[in-house]
Structures are given as C-alpha cells and as structure tokens.
Structure 1
C-alpha cells in the first residue's frame, strides 16, 4: 500500500506553502505529491491569496524537488485545449526528469467556469470532449519522433501535428481517470488509463466501482490486473482524541463524520481502515491534506501509519 499526499490549493495556498508540503512529503517517503485543478474555493474558505494553476505549480515543483512524483487529481478537460495540454504535461515531465502522472476528468464545478469565462457544456458533451482529449493527448505522446499525428473528431481536429515535445517517460506518463460514473468512466478507464481512482467513497462503494472498471477491462479484452486501483480520502490523524478534534476543527469538519467518511482517528484506527480498503483491491491512497500549515500532521502519518502498512 502506497501513501500519497493530495492537496486542494483552491481553498487557499501560496506556492511556498505547496513547496513546503511537497518537500516534506519527499523527505518523509510519500510516493507522490498531487494537487487538485480548480480555480474557485469551495465551502467557507476565503481562498486567499487566490487560485493557482495546477501545471504552473507542478512545473515549479518539478525543479524544486528531486525524487517525489507529481500529478493532478484531476485536470479538468474543460480548462485547456488538448494539444497545448499535451505540450505542457510533456514539458513538466521533462523538467522533472520523468516524475509526472496525468490525472484528467471531464470537469464538474460550474461556478469556477462562470467565474473565469470558461465554457461549461452539458455533461454528455463534457464526456465526449474528454474522450477526444484522451485520444489526442495519448496519440500525440505515442507518435514516433519524425512522424505526424492527425485527428478528426466532433470537437477537435489536428492536421500534420509534429506531436512534439515527447515526455521523458516512455511510452508516456501514467494516465489517471476516476470518479463515480457508472458507464462511461469505466469504459474510458479500460481504454486509456493506467490507474483508476475512487474519490471520497466508503469501502462498499469502492468495491462496486472497482468491480465495474474490472468488468469494463474484461469487455475490452484488457487484463484488469494491468490497472492500478486507488482511493482519495480526507486525512485527520492524531495520537489522542484531543489532537484529532483539533485537526478536525481546523478544517471545519466533525471528528465522527470524518471517521465515517474519511481516514480519521489514531494511527491504529487509520491503519485498520486502510486495511479494509486493501481487502477490496485498493493499492494506493491519496491522503487529502486540507491544513497545509500543519506539517506535523504529515510527519505523524509517515512515522506511525506508513510503517504499519
């Protein structure tokens, strides 16, 4: 079981705060540092100093870290055209020496689209666009050097693209898909993804979604075992109840609710719950860390949870 750190900078974070978390995660032995790709805060957060772009952030971290893997849960397909996005991700992969992982989704948060002038099509169209983007981005990366790439879709058309630059990783960076969709998400995962992520779901719900994506792999003649399975879960760990309560209050949540819906409690409680996810197939957990100034929280899990997994 691998533990990764997952941050939500739209709730309020500077680059220096994100860098401090990423460097600590690297030094503490976490597998990766991931961030969301959002332009608006959610809930009661003030969002200060304001949103930061996911791939600009990761470009900086690519040069300011040396070992930890870097990625997004999830880049919104509505935010960027597929050609420039393929260029940006490939460039960051090269800047990092081949440490990038590419999570992409259809986009869902309408408020951030209207706030920053980004078109927000209906759900079906967003999935259609996501499918074309996956075909284009992976196609550009997979095209041999010296050859060109063409694509003729409903929403995007490419002609005689040199399909450059290439990522550092060969054949390409890992692609992550995820979510709660019952039909198209498993189908796209089976066709394009290296990893399937279930965000903020209980063990039973996770089992159901893993079964759906395994079935989609089998229907597409893909070995389900070739797909890595993961969860994203909010973290609230403490050595004592008082410490758990303090950390829950800092992120505006109730300890009992976090115990039910996330990874909350003592290190032993968290180890036990991660074990239940492992029983249904989870191989990797993204720990959603919401208080980015509480670096001791990250150190605690590295010291007292990770060694027991």
Structure 2
C-alpha cells in the first residue's frame, strides 16, 4: 500500500506552505504530493487566496526530486484541452517525468461565477472530449499532426507538441457515478480514485469499474484502484482531539468517515481498503502547518504497510 499526501490549498495556503509540505512529503518517504484544483474556499476566508494547481506543481517540479506530483482533480471547465495538454507536458518535463493528471468534469459552480469561468450544463461530455484530446495529443508521434472534431472542441492539424517526459503521464479518473464514470475510467484511466467513500461504497464502485473494464476488452487489473480519505492521526486521544479541532471536525465523525485514530487503528482501516483492491491511499491533510502530523504518519503508519 502506497501512501500519498493530498492537500486542499483553496482552504488557505501560500506557495511557501505548499512547498514545505511537499518537501516533508519527499523527506518522509511518501509516494506523492497531490493537490486539489479549486479557486474558491469551501468555508472560511481562504486567506491568502487561491493558488493555481499547475503553476504550483511547476514550481514544486523544480524544488523536489523524487515524489510524484499531480491533481485530484483538475476541472475540465478550467482549461481548454489543448492548453492543458501543453501545461501538463511542460510540468512533466520540468519534473523529469513525475507528473500525473487527475481530470474531472468540474462541479463547484460558485468558483466559476466568482472568477468569470463559464460553467456549462453539459460537463460530462466535455470531460470525455478533453480526455480524448489530451491523450490523443500526447500519443501523436513527433512529426505527425493531430486533428479532432467533436461537439465541444475542434483541433485542426495540431503539431501535438510539446511531448511529456514520460511516454504518457498517468491519467486518474474518479467519482461515484454508477455508469458513465466507470465507462470513462475503463477507456482512459491508469488509476481509478474514489474520494471520501466508505468501505461499502468502495467495494461497489471498484466492482463497477472492473466490470466496465472487462466489457471494454481491458483487464481490470490494468488499473490502479485508490481512495482519498481525510487523515487525523494521534498518539493518544488528546492528540487526536487536538488535530480534529484544528480542522473543525469531531474525532468520532472522522473515525467513521476517514482515517482517524491511533496509528494502529489507521493501519487496520487501511488494511480493510486494501482487501477491496486499493493499492494507494491519498491522505487528505487539512492542517498544512502541522508537519509533525506527517512525521507521525510516516513513522508509525507508513512503515507498517507493505
């Protein structure tokens, strides 16, 4: 089981804070630093204000050397697909081939209206076209061109440059949709991620994705299955309560809906997700100033997982 660190900078984080967390992620032997792609806080003042996901990752690409870097999830509404393919390829080159693209349809209407970003009704068909275009641009051999004619996007004789450092950066698709999401994952995803889902929901959705992969003529084992869950780990009840209070949550609720408790409790619950087929967990870290939290998870949780 690989543990990755997942941050929500729209809730309030400077680039310097994100850099500190990314460096701790690398120093403490976690597998990756991921961040959300949002422009508006979901509660609270969000000070000092939002940071752009791909600009952040470009900076971190030059200031880290080992960890993977990516998004959960970039919104298809935020960027034109050709521009997104260029951005991700460039950051991949800047990192030496360590980038992964999580791409979703977009859902938070308020952040769109706050920053003048169109919020179309037909978001899922746009996501499907974006996936076709981004992966198609990367797959086009150098010296050839890429064209695409869809309902929402048209590309004509694109040189399909630049190329990423990796042959193809891994693509992550996630969500709880019962039909379209598994179908899209079966077509395009290297990894299927479930955000904040229970064991029961994870079992059902992983099963749907595996079934969709089989129907698409793909081995279900070709995909990586992962969960994103809020983390709140403490050596004792007092430390657990202190960390829960810092993020405005209750220990009992976090134990029920996330990865909360003592290190041994958290290891046991991660093991239950592993039994369902998950091989990665993205630990949502909401208090970015508490680097001791990361150290505890690394030394007492990560080291117990094979």
Give TM-score scaled by structure 1 length. Answer: 0.98
The match for 2:62 is 63
Note the residue ranges of structure 2 that are not aligned, 5 or more in a row: none
Superposition map of 1:1-309 within 5 A? 1-43=1-43, 45-122=44-121, 125-170=122-167, 172-309=168-305
Tell me by how many angstroms 1:285 deviates.
Answer: 0.1
| Structure 1 position 46, deviation (Å) | 1.3
The 3-state SS of whatever aligns with 2:192 is strand
CA deviation string 1:238-286 (max 9, x = no partner) = 0010000000000000000000000000000000000110111110000
Distance 2:97 2:38 in 1: 24
Mapped partners of 1:40, 1:181: distance in 2: 24
Q: CA offset at residue 216 of structure 1?
A: 0.4
Query: In the TM superposition, what is the alpha-carbon distance from 1:28 to its structure 2 partner?
Result: 0.5
SS of 1:5's equivalent in the other structure is strand
Shift, 1:91, TM fit: 0.1
Root mean square deviation, CA, Å: 0.4
Q: Deviations over 1:55-91 (max 9, x none)?
A: 0000000001111110000000000000000000000
**Runs of 4+, deviation exceeding 3 Å:** none
Deviations 1:209-245 (A, max 9, x none): 0000001001100000000000000000000100000
Deviations 1:31-52, CA, capped at 9 Å, x for gaps: 0000000000002x21000001
**SS of residue paired to 1:236:** strand
Q: Which secondary structure state, in structure 1, belongs to the residue aligned with residue 281 of structure 2?
A: strand
Q: Secondary structure at the match of 2:249?
A: coil
Distance 2:250 2:298 in 1: 23
Q: Distance in 2 between matches of 1:110 and 1:160?
A: 33
2:154 and 2:57 map into 1 onto residues whose CA distance is: 28
How many Å separate the matches in 2 of 1:135 and 1:104? 12
Spell out, residue by residue over 1:152-196, the C-alpha distance to the aligned partner (whole angstroms, 9 max, x if none): 0001000000000000001x1000000111111100100000000
SS of the aligned residue for 1:191 comes to: helix
Report the CA distance between 1:307 and its aligned residue.
Answer: 1.0
TM-score (normalizing by structure 2): 0.99
